[in-house]
Amino acid sequence: MSLRLTTLGGCQLRDEAGQTIAAPYLSLVLLAYLYSSETQVARRSAAQLIWSGNPDAASTNLRSALRRLSQAIGENRAPVIEADGAYLTLNHQALTCDLEFETAEISADNLNLCSDAVAKVFLPMEGRTSAQLSIWVKDVRQRHVAFLRQQFLKAADNPEKIARSDLRRAAVLLLEHDPGDEEIRRRISVTEGQEQQRVAAQPSEAQKFMAPPPSGDLWLVPRIALLPPDTAVSAQKAGSVANALIEDLTIGLCASRAVSVVAPYTSERIRSSRDKAAILERHKITYVLDTQRTEDALFVQLVFLPTDEIIWATRFKLDPGEIAGQRQTITDAVQTSLVRQLHSTQTMALDVSNQPEAYVSFLRGLQDLSHMSLPSIRRARRHFKASLEIDRNFASSLAGLSRTFSMEWILTARGDQELLQQAVRLADQAVSNNDQSAGAFKEVGVSHLFMGRIDESLEALEKAETLSPHYADVLFSHADSLVHASKPADALRKVLSSIELNPLPPDPYFWAAAGACYFLGEFGKALDFIGRMRDSKPADRLAAACWAMLGDTGKARTYRLRVLRNNPDFDLERWVAVLPHKEKWQTEMYREGLIKAGF
């Protein structure tokens, strides 16, 4: 019986029953090195490779690792490493490893093993520095890519012997690694139901929208991750046509030199992550094509990741009786629209590649803005300023900085005009730097709203919505201004549309919906929206007014006490005087609720 070492997607040692053996991590790395080397290795070479950062203690560390590995395995087992005075040799009778495919003959049957190796990544915790260990790990990964390429080319010459989906998966992995591999690009099958075909020299209709960079450097093209609606396992069980459509689209984009496509395995990991800044930093991804499946429809939206902006979206029905014949038509239509949008944001995407640190700082600020508290807002302000120190003309960071001042004005409720003047100045500067930025026009609209310039606010937000009609934050801000413009019914419809685009919205969306409901006299519904906020403290004034208008003075006064505890300087008349409302009835209705609540 032998132990099993896994090195792809993680590093673990398991016994015959599949139980993990608690061996030191670096001793497992040593096992991987010995297995990959195939011959005996000098003790000194192994020690210097794994502990290159501490050469004086390398030999001591090696002895300790060997001893602890032996203890973890147990005395009743044959040793997995045979050590003499100068050399280390792996006992292949006592250990198997998931690197066996390296010694397999090149054949179509081994294509999936190579694809798994490249997708899962050899020793994923390593390879991020210039140390000897990292260099070796990266060399092994390069070798795995070379193995996959050999397997793919052989399999592509005999496509009838292997599943088309397996060929497609391998092609995507190879092009993710090297977008400039024209040989792989030519081998991609592009027509469903036909024999494998070569990509035509004449570019497709979608490809015409974007040419490769003039420099010819394909690493400068934007990277896109396509997130399928279902996991691979659930899609296979359900026979998901939606996933098949996304697969078709992935291959179609791979055939274009205008964009670099992230492999599906990476995309699945991205779906489970909530840290967009870390994703951008690690994978340098500019766009995410997100998909959501309902019972009879597929919703597709293209998100510009650096600003979290939805720049395009569509929805189409999934009719099992017709979709099979429509797959190519739908794929071509989506691809054409998609690449047109990529073209429209090409300059912005290139800026992401050139100034990634500015975008990462911006995203950190954006994440802090999702929490409506003064400490969070001030942290966000520091991140936006850090971004502007790197790129002082970055419109999105100027717009974000503007938002921090308008939000502070709302939360402090002191009517501080200096905060609003800062917000207006920064928002106008953002538009001046980029008059195609929906986010910049959004902040112009928000800042002008609180200055009482409601018409100017609506004009700016209409411009923002024209530039980006699927940008949920723009729709929410537009809805908020409509509330103050004495159009609560229109506001409620628009904020519900923003929630549909962003099903896990930040708290201000629900706050805006609650405000619209209040002025429609739907006080119970307003409280329901407030109840959906993760942190409802900023809406305590509105909650107090709602309970008072419903006649529950006890709960109204409870919320009044919460408001005064968090903001003891709150003054009703001073606050109502600076709140912008298009028509007087709104101001009086809000004052009535607050007075009934005891303010």
Q: Is 354 helix (H, G, I), strand (E, B) or coil?
A: helix
Smallest CA-to-CA distance from 31 within 67, 81, 100 is with 81
Q: C-alpha angle with apex 246: 252 to 114, nearest 5 degrees? A: 75
- Phi, psi angles (nearest 5°) of residue 471: -80, 105
Report residue 414's pLDDT band, with 50, 70 and 90 as the boundaries.
Answer: confident
Q: Each residue of 17-35: pLDDT tens digit?
A: 889 998 999 999 999 999 9
- Among residues 437, 461, 434, 457, the alpha carbon closest in space to that of 447 is found at 457
Alpha helices, DSSP H, located in 96-131: 111-120
Which residue intervals of 322-373 are DSSP H helices? 323-344, 346-354, 356-369
Provide the 10 A C-beta neighbour count for residue 237: 10
pLDDT for residue 190: 38
Neighbours of 153 (CB within 10 A): 15
Q: Which residues share a beta bridge with 314?
A: 300
Tell me the per-residue pLDDT of 50-104, one tens digit each, with 9 for 90 and over.
888 777 788 898 989 989 999 898 878 888 888 887 889 998 888 999 888 876 6
> Is the distance from CB of 267 to CB of 350 less than 8 angstroms?
no
- C-alpha torsion 473→478→484→486, nearest 10: -140
Which two structure tokens, joined as six digits, stand for 273? 């992550």
pLDDT at 365: 83
Strand order in the sheet with 41-42: 41-42, 87-90, 81-83
Residue 339, classed as helix, strand or coil, is: helix
Burial class for 495, CB neighbours closer than 10 Å (0-12, 13-18, 19+): buried
Give me the sign of the Cα torsion angle 140, 143, 148, 151: negative
Q: Pull the structure tokens for residue 166.
A: 């397996």
For the ranges 11-25, 499-513, 569-583, the maximum mean pLDDT occurs at 11-25
What is the distance, to the nearest Å, from the Cα of residue 307 to the centroid of all Cα atoms in its chain? 11
Question: Taking the model in full, what pTM does it have?
Answer: 0.56
| pLDDT at residue number 435 | 80
Q: What pairing do the DSSP bridges indicate for beta strands 309-317 and 12-14?
A: unpaired
